[in-house]
Structures are given as C-alpha cells and as structure tokens.
Structure 1
Amino acid sequence: MSLNVLGEKGRRIRELTAVVQKRFGFPEGSVELYAEKVATRGLCAIAQAESLRYKLLGGLAVRRACYGVLRFIMESGAKGCEVVVSGKLRGQRAKSMKFVDGLMIHSGDPVNYYVDTAVRHVLLRQGVLGIKVKIMLPWDPTGKIGPKKPLPDHVSIVEPKDEILPTTPISEQKGGKPEPPAMPQPVPTA
C-alpha cells in the first residue's frame, strides 16, 4: 500500500509535493511530504471507507460488504462502529442502510477525540452512493491505538494500601521539658 503513495524510487511522493506546492503557491523546495503507515488499519475510518468503496465498485452486495467491514473493525479492537450507505441501493428509489455494532457516542467533547469519521462517494452505473464510517476508538493510556484521555464518566477504583497498625502506643518527645502525666483532679463533693 505504501508503494502506491511513494511510487517507484519515491517518484509519486515527489509528484504530490510538486502538486501541493503549485496549488498553494509555495516557493520551490519549501514543501516536504512524509508518508506514514497506519498502525491499525481496522481503527482508521478513512481506510475502512475506501475498503468498502472498492468492495462496492467490485460488485459485492451492499449488506454483505458492510457486514464484512463491520466485523473487521470490531475484530481490530474498536469499542463500536457505524456504517451508513445511502443512495440508489436497489431500484430507482434512494434509501439508506445503517449497520451498527458496539458502543457509539454522539455528543459531548469526547466525540472529538474518540470517534474517527470518514465520508466517501462511490460512482456506480445507476448513480452515486454515499458511505459514512464512524469508529469509536478504545481508550489507550499509551496513545497508540486510541486517545490517552479516558471518557469523563469512566471510574477507576484504586485498591487501598495495607495499613500497618502499631501494636503498642508510641509517644514522641518534641524538645523542651517533658510534661508530667496529668493527675486526675479529685471531684469536690458538696
């Protein structure tokens, strides 16, 4: 896959660099592009949307293709995923099919770093299909396959430390004269 981006002897990445440079009007030699391999393909929404796109272009049935992608995403360790395909699936009437598995958050700040989203279009003979892929990433304290920040409602229970109880009472002298132990005062009787 990385050969597609780099090309033979890095020719394609040089072409891409030149295109970016011309498009945005940067001076010659001021743009550098780096290609990085995706660590886990199953947790990358863009990769999965493209995969589904090629399956549909290859003539695979929509339901079968979507369930295949859904299973692959969940086996890669995602907490949840959602695939929506909309357009003219069968016949002239457009409709959308939604495939959901696992857990998915839709609101709040964690959506920004927990949910990976991609949208792609497939140009078929009868028209255009739209593909939306949403993947809920797992919490990863190392930050490799998911966000380092835990979900706000996540509660971690810490085991209490073993307390060492003293067997005999110990008193320490703090400097100065030690005070004589207090004598109990006789209670006056009336």
Structure 2
Amino acid sequence: MVGPRVKSYFLNYGLKKLMIDEFLAHYFKDAGYADVELYRTPTGYRVVIHAEYPGRLIGRGGSVIKKLSTILQTRFGLDNVNVTISPVVDPDLNARVVAFRIVRALEKEIPFRRVIMYMLKRVMDAGAVGAEIIVSGKLRGERATYEKLKAGKVYKAGEPVEYVVDRAVAKALLKPGIFGVEVVIVKPNIKLPDHVEVKALKPEEIEQLKPAKAEAGGGSAG
C-alpha cells in the first residue's frame, strides 16, 4: 500500500511539472515549445525542454537559458537546476508544435481556412494516420463559431487514444477576440487494434490451395 508521503511526493512533482509546462508554453510559443521533462537527481533537478527552434530558448551566448535557470530556481523552487534544450524529432507530428504554428499564422492575419488546410496537409504528408484541426472564435462575424477539418482516421475514444493520439490546445489573441485552436494527431508506426494485415501467399502455397485434378482413366462400358 502506498503511503501518504509517497502520494504527496508524486502529487507535488506532477503539479510542479504542470506549472512549469504552462509557464514555458506561454512564454516560448514563438520558439515552437513542445514539452518538458523533469527529473530529480541526487544533486538537484534536470530539466529537458523540447522545442522546434532550440536557439530561441538558448539565446545569444546562452542569455535566455541563464535567465530561465534563475526563474526555475526562484519561482518554482528547483535547486541546482540543469537545463537542457533539445529539438523536436518530428515537429510536423507534434500536436503542440502544430498548434503554435497555427497561432502564429493567425496572429499574422493569414486567413484561418488557408492556415488549417496547409497545416493538415503538412501533418498528413509527414506520415500521420489521421489528423483533426479545429479553430473556434469570431471567424466570420460577431457570432462565435468554429471550423473543423479532418483527414485520415482519428480516434476519439477507447484504449488506443491513450498511446496513439497526440492532442494540444492553444489560443491566439486577435482583433475580434480570442481564437481557440485544437490539434489532434494520430501517430504513425504504431500497431492499432483494428489493423488487419493481409499476408501475401508464396507460389507453392497457392499451388497447394488449388483443387486436386481428377485422376485420368476410367474403363469403357462393355
């Protein structure tokens, strides 16, 4: 049975990671912030930040990463923190990176339909099984509405959602108001429970399946 001290540790760890994640997502969306990993080491903490543009998080001469280390220590209480910036392996298949791309495009006043059509095509070209992009807000007038585009196969419920779906939500502040952006990406190269694979037969196996020929012969009636 898990003791209260262990429960408290994991609750505090999860809350601290969530607060750091929200802070980084707010201040570094232009850097294509994707995710953060938090590790407790014998000497302190190790923070690994994944972003589309790592250079913007590092800064000239490491200026940004030094300020970030100070903030993590003073604001979030991470003693002896070691910050590592890592590039995102597949940015076109990362829902958060794609959501922030859409936000940046909308804030540049690029038409929303053109943005989501382009991003959806880019995600699918990267190999995604399926993708869905929703933009909501005052898209065409004073009344709030939404636009949804989907391609491929998108899972909304069931066990596969836990390990094959990457989902992210972001918001853009525009003249008409706040626009919400939701991106759902079904990752490739993962075996799905409803996947059916048809096995190709070898030539000798095909021969075995053919019906046997009737034996020749048979006496004539006398």
1:74 & 1:97 partners in 2: Cα distance? 18
CA distance in 2, matches of 1:151, 1:33: 36
Match of 2:195?
154
Deviation at 1:152, TM superposition (A): 2.2
**More helix as a share of residues:** 2
Aligned residues: 152
1:9 is matched with which residue: 51, 61, 68? 61
Equivalent residue number for residue 94 of structure 1: 144
1:117 maps to amino acid: R
**CA distance in 1 between partners of 2:75 and 2:165 (Å):** 31
Tell me which of 27, 47, 60 is aligned to 2:97. Answer: 47
How far apart are residue 9 of structure 1 and its match?
2.1
Provide runs of 4+ in structure 1 moved above 4 Å: 155-162
Amino acid at match of 1:151: L
Please name the residue that 1:108 is paired with.
158
State the Cα deviation string for residues 77-117 of structure 1 (Å, max 9, x = none). Answer: 11110000001111100001101011111111221111111
Deviation of 1:154 after TM superposition, in Å, equals 3.0
Q: Give, in whole Å, the separation in 2 of the partners of 1:109 and 1:99.
A: 24
Q: Within 1, Cα distance between the matches of 2:69 and 2:108?
A: 31
Structure 1: runs of 5 or more not aligned: 140-146, 163-190
More strand by share: 2
Aligned counterpart, 1:36 = 86
The question of 1:131 aligning with 2:172 is answered no
Inter-partner Cα distance in structure 1 for 2:198 and 2:67: 53
Look up the equivalent residue of 1:22 and give its one-letter code: T
* Cα deviation, residue 158, structure 1: 6.5
Amino acid at match of 1:39: V
| Aligned position for 1:182 | none
Corresponding residue SS for 1:122: strand
Unaligned runs of 5+ in 2: 1-52, 205-222
Question: Could you state the TM-score of these two structures normalised by the residue count of structure 2?
Answer: 0.63
Letter in 1 for 2:64: R
Name 1:69's counterpart in structure 2: 119
User: In the alignment, is residue 19 of structure 1 matched against residue 19 of structure 2?
Assistant: no
Q: Which amino acid aligns with 1:34?
A: T
TM-score of the two chains, using structure 1 as the length reference? 0.73
Tell me the distance in 2 between the aligned counterparts of 1:153 and 1:67: 28
In 2, the alpha carbon distance for the partners of 1:123 and 1:155 equals 44
Q: Share of identical aligned residues, percent?
A: 36
How far does residue 73 in structure 1 lie from its aligned partner after superposition? 0.6
What one-letter code is carried by the residue in structure 1 that aligns with 2:187?
A: L
Q: Partners of 2:78 and 2:159 in 1: how far apart?
A: 35
1:59 aligns with 2:109: yes
Instruction: Give the residue type in structure 2 aligned to 1:100.
Output: K
CA distance, structure 2, for counterparts of residue 159 and residue 100 of structure 1: 32
- Distance in 2 separating the partners of 1:34 and 1:155: 41
> Over aligned residues, Cα RMSD in angstroms?
2.0
Q: CA deviation at 1:26?
A: 2.8
CA drift of 1:134 comes to 0.5
